Amino acid sequence: MRLRILWLEWLLLAFLGVFLLYPLVYIVPGSASDVEFVVVISHLGTTPEERASVSAILSETGDATASFKLPLKRTFATERAARDLAIRLQQAGAQAEVVRHRLWTDFYFKQALGFQIQRVPGFPFFEVLPHNPFLWECLTNSLLLAAMTTLATTLLCLPIARWFARYRFRGQGLLVGLLLAPLILPPFVSAIGMQKLLGRFGTVNLTLMQVGLLRPDAPIDWLGEGGFAGVAIMQVLHLYPIMYLNLAAAWANVDPTLEDAARSLGADEWQVFRTITFPLLLPGYFAGASIVFIWSFTDLGTPLVFGFDSVIPVQIFNQVSDPRQTNATAYALVVLTLAVTASLFYSARWFVSRYAYSGQGKGAIASLPPTIQGWRLFFLHLFVIALTFVAVLPVIGVVLTAISDQWVLTPLPPAWTVSHLGEVWSNKVSAWSIRNSIFYSVCSTFLDIMLGVAIAWLISRRPTWLSHILDGLSTLPLALPGLVLAFGYLTCFSTWDLFGLQNYLDPTKNPVPLLIVAYAVRRLPYLTRSALAGMQQIAPVLEEAAENLGARRWWVVRTVTLPLIAANIVAGAVLTFAFAILEVSDSLMLAREEQFFPITRAILGLLMRPDNGDVLACALSVFAMTLLAGSLLLAGLLLGKKMGELFRA
């Protein structure tokens, strides 16, 4: 292993330290401490009149000057009250100043948990005592929502991944494309279309009423009033492609001869799956399950659209709506979110790393996959098409809303128009958001290309202990919710003057630099892994040959390495750009003024308008959906089956 450290490694480490680690470290003291403001009075005045005035002011606070010994101290919970008293005392002739003290406490973290453990006599010796019922409900809802979403996507994708990995059939490529269709729209946007179709007076219920199968006064609540059930349905329909990609990639690496050997010894299909296949699938399964769980646990947009406030992400968002009023409970909620997601992510990696999962022997011969035909092929096509239809129903609802004219209490729009699609460009907010999103995403993609290619090159070509640290840091965003990172940016860079750059980094004044950095940091694993996969397929002797002919290192990278991994870089860049376009958490947390709104923030803002905001929001969503679909299609064509590796933990 190389011992000499390159300046590039220190530069990359400094960037990730400032924009990845520091925001995370900053929020921890805020969750475990409280701030008090102390008015320190060092002089009561020089004249009797001044001393009398100061004494009168202090007497109003309930203190007697006779018991005072200089310096005097008065403690307040808010800075404003302390400064008001200090100003009054100064005007009266006293010398007073406000001193900020930080006190360490576990109170706010207990509040965020919503419960405490109390010792009791006898077995079980301890009991859980909820002391903040609402936050306890938010925590349990978030955990239950993430667990149910992960379980549902697992049960849905295991058989699908098996069919596509172990069999060959006509139209397989087309069906894979259909399975990935839900990725073209974030779940909170899909929630708009789902409410139009499955709401109490949506398309489904109104159709049933027209044919006489449903009474007008008893509509079916398909989405559970848009509460827990509605959020869970939307998350499952949006996240199952990520689980499928990981399971399909893992299943393709399982040696089928091991399964055949188990069958030859008399094991049935369930025993083969339980004892052979699933243990070998664990790395890919844990990668997909951890990402789905974290994504569901920290999803902010979908609960906001459905009006379901009893989850941790919405509570964090509500408490930081005005960054000047952020309290310590918000910090504690963020630390709790980070603790849950990081514990799950790294526990899964530790569990998987304990065992070896390689089943391919040196002399193994791959068996020819069987072909599905006849009625089995028909039902497989029918199942995938039905699943895709249900998954893209929200997209259909969004498109119908965008091209409808006065769609109220009818199963389908009575009239059609494309004027709303044109209004996207004439409306100030939506037009700004498109330009902003494209600018943010392009800049973040270029930043990711520079960071990702550099980190991948160091890992594969110049390994050191520091390059291994960079490898771990570049993977960390997979376990890091955007909500946590955005909160860290919002709090630390609005109060800390980094080398005199606060005017440029303060998100309350200009969120553009931090939005670009946030997009880049969140999507850095995609570019790094894509570039690393390309470099691992290049024989180092090609680069060594160029160096032996006298080429400098940069010349070798530019003329040999980069051209050979160009397809990987383009694919990773397209994917990075696509997901940056519809980034939700960073956009909702950091962009506060309309002139800085990206597309996702503009969609949410338009939904809150009482007039035709929902129609314009859907029209803007159609534009974003088209852009994202084209990007994902291009990335899929360039990466092929390796696309699932980008979502692996």
Q: What is the pLDDT of residues 94-116, one digit of tens each?
A: 888 888 777 777 777 777 777 76
Query: Is 447 a residue whose pLDDT tops 90?
Result: yes
Which pLDDT belongs to residue 519?
92
- Looking at the chain, the domain(s) classified CATH 3.30.1390 span 33-104
Count of H helices and E strands in the chain?
Answer: 30, 5
Q: Are 37 and 79 in contact (CB under 8 A)?
A: yes
What distance in Å separates the CA atoms of residue 132 and residue 119, rounded to the nearest whole number?
Answer: 18
Which pLDDT belongs to residue 67?
54
Query: Is 1 a residue whose pLDDT tops 50?
Result: no
Amino acid at 464: T
What distance in Å separates the CA atoms of residue 519 and residue 586, rounded to the nearest whole number?
Answer: 8
Which pLDDT belongs to residue 268?
83
Q: Are 473 and 458 in contact (CB under 8 A)?
A: no
Calculate the average pLDDT of the chain: 79
Which pLDDT belongs to residue 155?
92
State phi, psi for 428 to the nearest 5 degrees.
-60, -45
Which pLDDT belongs to residue 124?
65
For 135-359+386-402, give the CATH class: mainly alpha
Name the maximum alpha-carbon separation found in the chain.
Answer: 105
Q: Are 219 and 428 in contact (CB under 8 A)?
A: no
Query: Is 436 a residue whose pLDDT tops 80?
Result: yes
Which of residues 103 and 20 earns the better pLDDT score?
20
DSSP strand pairing (95-104 vs 72-76): unpaired
Which pLDDT belongs to residue 570?
78
pLDDT digits (tens, 9 = 90+) for 524-556: 888 887 788 777 767 777 777 887 878 887 788
Burial of 223 by CB count in 10 Å (0-12 exposed, 13-18 middle, 19+ buried)? Answer: buried
Amino acid at 458: L
Mean pLDDT in residue range 294-312: 84
Of the segments 25-34, 115-124, 504-513, which one has the largest average pLDDT value?
A: 504-513
Tokens read off for 624: 């974003």
Query: Is 25 a residue whose pLDDT tops 80?
Result: yes
Which of residues 161 and 439 earns the better pLDDT score?
439
Which of residues 515 and 406 earns the better pLDDT score?
515
Q: Are 259 and 334 in contact (CB under 8 A)?
A: no
Which pLDDT belongs to residue 281?
81
Which pLDDT belongs to residue 146?
92
Which pLDDT belongs to residue 486?
85
Of the segments 9-13, 252-256, 381-385, 513-517, which one has the largest average pLDDT value?
A: 513-517
Query: Is 444 a residue whose pLDDT tops 90?
Result: yes
- Concatenate the DSSP letters of all residues of 555-574 into one string: HHIIIIIHHHTHHHHHHHHH
Mean pLDDT in residue range 519-523: 90
Query: Is 516 a residue whose pLDDT tops 80?
Result: yes
What distance in Å separates the CA atoms of residue 183 and residue 575, rounded to the nearest whole number?
Answer: 11
Which pLDDT belongs to residue 365?
47
Which pLDDT belongs to residue 362?
42
pLDDT digits (tens, 9 = 90+) for 132-169: 788 888 888 999 999 999 999 999 988 888 888 777 87
- pTM confidence score: 0.76
Distance of CA 179 to the CA centre of its chain: 21
Which pLDDT belongs to residue 389?
83
Which pLDDT belongs to residue 446?
92
pLDDT tier at 636, thresholds 50, 70, 90? low
- Looking at the chain, the domain(s) classified CATH 1.10.3720.10 span 135-359+386-402
Q: How wide is the angle at C-alpha 340 spanned by C-alphas 337 and 341, nearest 5°?
A: 85
Q: Are 164 and 172 in contact (CB under 8 A)?
A: yes
Length of the chain: 649
Which pLDDT belongs to residue 517?
92
Which pLDDT belongs to residue 63?
55
What distance in Å separates the CA atoms of residue 530 and residue 449, rounded to the nearest whole number?
Answer: 10
Which of residues 363 and 134 earns the better pLDDT score?
134
Report which of 576, 455, 602 is spatially closest to residue 518, judged by C-alpha positions.
576
What distance in Å separates the CA atoms of residue 14 and residue 37, rounded to the nearest whole number?
Answer: 34
* CATH of the domain spanning 33-104, picked from 3.30.1390, 3.30.310, 3.40.50, 3.90.320: 3.30.1390
Least confident of 275-289, 313-327, 504-518: 313-327
């769980």: which residue's tokens? 293
Which pLDDT belongs to residue 148?
94
Neighbours of 537 (CB within 10 A): 10
Q: Which residues of 593-623 are buried (b: 16+ CB within 10 A; e: fewer)?
A: eeebbbbbbbbbbbbeeeeebbbbbbbbbbb
Mean pLDDT in residue range 500-506: 71
As a whole-number percent, the residues of the chain with pLDDT over 90 amount to: 6
Q: Are 464 and 3 in contact (CB under 8 A)?
A: yes
Least confident of 39-43, 345-349, 386-390: 345-349
pLDDT tier at 62, thresholds 50, 70, 90? low
